[in-house]
Amino acid sequence: MSNIVILGPQRYQPTIGQEIQSAAPDGKLAVITAGWQERESEMAELDLAVGRETINLKLHARAEEIFRNAPVYREAHRDHQNRIKTMQTVYRIKLKNALATVEELMHMTDVEEDILDPQVEDALDVVRHLDNHHLTTLAEANQEFYDQWGPGKNSGIMDHHYELADILDQCSAVLVAGGHVAVLLNRLRLLKLEGLLRNRPIIAWSAGAMVLCDRVVLFHDSPPQGRGNAEIFEAGLGLYNNMIPLPHASRRLMLDNTIRVATLAKRFTGSACLALDDGTRIDWDGKKWHNGANIKRLTEEGKLEEWGDA
């Protein structure tokens, strides 16, 4: 299993330099910045913070080269992504109604607990079923695409995959930066990075932290288009579990709204919903989590509390 260090966002309060010294004290560092898309190679600020030799894996650029050299595959990939987006839209509509029911019930403070609590739990089960069903249908769609267009049928993908394997063997750790979570996850999958990253020391933050877990949860209580709901986006790479990372939690979530906090915690029962704000750190040793610095968990009572090892 991978030893993984998850950090809070690095844009406003970078801690990556000091954290690297404990996680990977020497050697070259492989860097994944595919989530930055066309800005993937703009590494000056990160290199300055890291203070070590880095090798940018350039996953976004490699994917663009693959698409240029295989236009039929590019169109098939685009059609698949459009299908996934449509599935996400349908799920989002159903989820909105189900979560509205949960929230309306939880606002009924004048109802006896023995009557209300089972009804809230039933409503939450509907939400959990939608989440799990969405993950299942996404997995089926992805497998169908993989069976028809998998890397074994595209020599360009495998050429890059083997080259990336050679580069990673020269490095002591891998940094996975944030950015556009969908693009980052897509490029990691396209180039078959899951197996290459397993059992390697990894330091990740923001979207980088999100794509490494077993399920990617998007969240924003107050997006520009109006009130938002947390939603399952995809299965992640599965390099760690039992935790839902919430980067920029204090900026994206109404943490003073006890009902929304409680709903999020109850919905993902079995996985700790952790607020990853500036200056935070948590470590995964392959079996359990260790609270490195300032980690707080969203509770089913609608509060934030210091989180211990788990």
Give domain limits for the chain.
4-78+147-306
CA-based R_g, the chain, Å = 20
Per-residue pLDDT at 310: 62
- Say if residue 307's pLDDT is above 70: yes
Distance between CA atoms of 55 and 163, rounded to whole angstroms? 13
Per-residue pLDDT at 308: 74
Average pLDDT estimate for 8-29: 85
Q: Which residue has the higher pLDDT, 270 or 226?
A: 270
Opening angle at CA 247, ends 210 and 62, nearest 5: 45
- Rounded to the nearest 10 degrees, the angle between the axes of helix 59-69 and helix 181-190 is 60
Mean pLDDT (the chain) is: 92
- CA-wise closest residue to 267 among 240, 294, 246, 238: 246
Per-residue pLDDT at 251: 93
- CA-wise closest residue to 212 among 160, 176, 180: 176
Opening angle at CA 91, ends 87 and 93, nearest 5: 120
- Say if residue 22's pLDDT is above 80: no
Q: Which residue has the tokens 């695409």?
A: 145
Per-residue pLDDT at 131: 98
Cβ–Cβ under 8 Å, residues 6 and 285: no
Enter the pTM of the model.
0.93
Per-residue pLDDT at 158: 92
Provide the 10 A C-beta neighbour count for residue 37.
Answer: 15
Half-sphere exposure of 268 (CA within 13 A, CB side): 25
- Say if residue 1's pLDDT is above 60: no
Opening angle at CA 61, ends 59 and 65, nearest 5: 115
Class of domain 4-78+147-306: alpha beta
Residue type for 285, please? D
Q: Which residue has the higher pLDDT, 225 or 88?
A: 88
The rounded percent of the chain whose pLDDT value lies above 70 is 98
Query: The dihedral of CA 36, 38, 41, 47: what is its sign?
Result: negative
Per-residue pLDDT at 226: 67
- Say if residue 149's pLDDT is above 70: yes
Per-residue pLDDT at 24: 78
- CA-wise closest residue to 292 among 273, 277, 309, 305: 309
The rounded percent of the chain whose pLDDT value lies above 90 is 78
- Rounded to the nearest 10 degrees, the angle between the axes of helix 155-169 and helix 59-69 is 160
Q: Please state which of the ranges 119-123, 226-230, 303-307 shows the lowest mean pLDDT.
A: 226-230
Residue 121 phi, psi (nearest 5): -65, -40
Distance between CA atoms of 144 and 153, rounded to whole angstroms? 14
Query: The dihedral of CA 231, 234, 235, 236: what is its sign?
Result: negative
Residue type for 55, please? I
Distance between CA atoms of 172 and 13, rounded to whole angstroms? 24
Per-residue pLDDT at 309: 64
Cβ–Cβ under 8 Å, residues 231 and 218: yes
Cβ–Cβ under 8 Å, residues 247 and 9: yes
Per-residue pLDDT at 15: 85
Average pLDDT estimate for 181-194: 96
